[in-house]
Every structure is written in C-alpha cells, then in structure tokens.
Structure 1
Amino acid sequence: MERELISHLAHADHPIAAPITEDGLVRLLTRAKLPPGARILDLGCGEAAWLIRALTLYPEATADGVDISERALSGAAEEAHRRGVSDRLRLHRSPAAEYSADEPYDLVLCVGATHAFGGLAPTLAEIRRHLRPGTGLALVGEGFWEQPPSAEVLTLLDAKPDDYADLGGTVERMESAGFATVYGHTSTRAEWDEYEWSWTGSLTRWALDHPGPDGDAALAAAQAHRDLWLKGYRDVLGFVTLLLGLTR
C-alpha cells in the first residue's frame, strides 16, 4: 500500500496533521494579526486544514497551498468548497522547494514538513524567500528532543542526535536564521496522544472495514507506527510551533 494513501487514511480524523488541537491552531493563527487582504502560503499543506482555518479567521485573505499529494489536494479542494472559502484558496501540486510566486506573502507556514527541504535550516531559508520584507511572518512547526534520545530510539527513528535540538536549542536555531519569536505553542503530551491515537486508530478502523491485502497492509502500518510511538519516541520527541518575525 502506497505511503500517500496510508497518510491520507491515517489523518482522516485529525486533519490538522500535527500534534496540535483546533484551539491551539486558532491561537497561533490569531496571534499573527494579519492585515486586510493578507497573502498566506503553506509549504507542504496536505489537506490544507491550516489554510482553510486561516481563511475563515481572515475573510479578506487569500492563500496558496503547495503539496505533492494529489489525493491531499483533492481533499483540500473539497473541504474548502464545503467551508465556503474555495474562491480564495489556490492549490498547487508541486514539490515545496520548487514553488515560486510573483508576490511575497504576509504569512508563510511550514508545520511538520521541514523534511521537504532537508531540515530546519534550509526550510527557514526557503520561507524567507517568500516573505514580505520587513513585515512578513512565519509559522514553523518542528520536532525537538524532550529528553536526550537513547541509541535504541535513534535507531528506531533512523535519526542522529543533532537532527533535533532541545526546546531552547530549537528556538535558537530559528532565531539564528534571522527570525525573532513572536509566539509559540509547545504541544502537550495529551495533544501528542490524541494525534497518535487518531493516526493509528483511523488507519486500523479502515483496515478492519477493508479485509484483504490492502487491509492487512494498512493494519501492519498502523501497528508499526504505534510501536514506534509507544516503545520509542513517546516523551522523547516533542513538537513546537513558533510564530516568527524577521529581524534581518
């Protein structure tokens, strides 16, 4: 079963696609205090839950969502139509690193998708390329080490110790790239648990409803992910979303 379909099924009951509640998402977007007519960009938008919510909060804004998944973008288009914001949302099927636009943006998001650029530092450089000079804001969600990972956890995650920093180090990495922290949301254990139980549970439910080779593959993927979480990175890997302004 292809990874894109697994991800789509796993996020069916948690379309935010990050360990953040709806209330946390709204707080972050509200703190941006965007001007009338703001332009918003999401690099790695998935099903565009962040953009659709932003367009409901800022009724004069327009937005662009970029993702490589045709399935996710189709879901985004359907949800935007259902929420009545499709006329202000443009969706682009493209690698995030290859996207370009003629005008800068007032807010650029990349939440849980820094892998699309090869890590945090190149993600921040790409975000800067799209931001309106002086006043543009970024909303970046990234993992951090809640505690030093063991060798076993690093092996399970196929990660290196310096792939992430601790929370303070993560803030420093973003600020050393020429940003200042305006606001932040550190995901709680309850938010992580809700996200992971939704991810594994949605996929498991689909597998049970679709017996056969695809169902077996989906169930195996759900169980593997659950083991990676419960026996590996739970309470080790954290997640923080920072609202950033430009300093230089």
Structure 2
Amino acid sequence: MGEIKEQYLSYLNLTLERPSINYLQRLIQHHLIRIPYETFSKFHYFNQNKEFVPSLEQFVHNLQNRGWGGTCYTLNINFGRLLRELGFDIKFVRVKPGHLGIMVNIQDRKLYVDVGYGSPIMKPVELETRRKHILHGFGEEITFTQKDQALYEIDRKANGKSFVKKEIVWVPLEEEDLAEDISSSYQDSENNVVMRRITAVRFHGNTCYFLRNGTIKAMTYRNIREYQMRDMDKWINTVNEIYHFDKESIQESVDFLEQRDIKIFT
C-alpha cells in the first residue's frame, strides 16, 4: 500500500508530510487540478461488471495509464482512502441526492472536503463555525448554508442563478454504509442522468473545461466560451487533447450512449 500511496502523491506532484490543515488544502487543490471528474470510467466499470468503486490500486493504475478520475463516489472514496493512508482521521458523509463528501477531523475541527463534485471547492470548509460559507471560482459561487443541526445545503450558482442544490447529512459514515448509494448511482435507467450523458470537468490554469456530450465550455474568472461540436473525429481528438483520456475509452462511452439511443450531438 505504501507504494500505491507514493504513486498517488507523485501524480498530485506532492510528497509525504504530516497531517495538517495546510497540507490538506494543498492535497485538495492539486487533486482538483490534476484529476478530472468524468463519466468515461463509470461507463467502462459498468460494462466490465467490475466493483463499482475501484480499489485504490485500480484507481491509481487508471489515473496513470488512462487519465481517468471518476465521478463522486470513485473520487471522494479514493481520496478518503489516500487521506487515511497519510494519517488523517476521516469519515464519509452522505450528500443527497446521489453524492458523498468527506469529513476530516483535525485539531478538534471537523472539515468538509469534496474533490468529486466537478466544482472548485478548493479548500476544506469548517461547516459548524457559522451558518453560511461562500466560495468563488471559475465563474461559480458555492454557498454552504446550515439547515438543521446536522444538515447543510450546497447551492451552486453561475451568473447569479442556482443550477444545482444538494444537502450534506453531517453524520460520519464508513464506505460500507454507502453501498446502496453507490449501487443506485449505476442504475441503468432514464431516471439516472449520470448514466445517460457524457460529462467531464478539468481545472487547468485559469480555465475550467466543462464537457457535456457534444458541448465544451471553457470558463475563466471573467467569461465563458462555448463550443458546439458536430464532427465525431474532431470531438474525440478535442476530448483527448483537453482531458488526456485514451481514445478507446472515449469511443466506449459514445457506444454506450448510442446503444441507449442517445446521440451526443443534438
């Protein structure tokens, strides 16, 4: 496990340090910059009938060899496993609907960490210290608001408009407590939008690249540029260039959706 931990850290361009809030913040920032949120690997794991959250070894292998990250369960669970290996005291928390985050206990403080939302939550958030926290980045505003003793809302806004809200149930859980949530995230049905569209998010320099089927948005702190693509070869090359996913897995995702009568160019 030591070797895997070192490979993971090396991919993040970081080295082994003692647990601290400063180290945690750098781990989060490097993770969001180096490792994408993406559904390509999710379709692959589904096709392979593999365990739905890859092991730490499999996750790091695919990171190095295929450029994959994953969706929330794969990203946050494996980041949580890494944090434990590094000596951090962590638990998982359910975020409804269909998401999870990490609770890090350090220096008598409880911090919310989330590297699996495709969102610039670039630092740990100490939810319990005040009723509302606001983060900004890449044209996005993220507000955490306390709703109840152990319930917090995450509201993501762009251009002042809310586009997704979820609720953090601030109760510590282990991986096994989330087995049903993970399984339902792979439900092969029209109701599960994650399994019905291609999505990828990568933070690179001052730009966030957001892929949704045939559309790529390049978002900076100042503006948003949108590219609608129509040509499959050009689209595959562009996705490969921006996200560094291997072309085989890109094609596999296109085939996965086509088998379900979904065309990525509309």
| Shorter-chain TM-score tier | under 0.3
TM-score where L is the length of structure 2: 0.25
Looking at secondary structure, tell me which structure has more helix per residue: 1
Bigger RCO of structures 1 and 2 (CA < 8 A, at least 6 apart): 1
Looking at secondary structure, tell me which structure has more strand per residue: 2
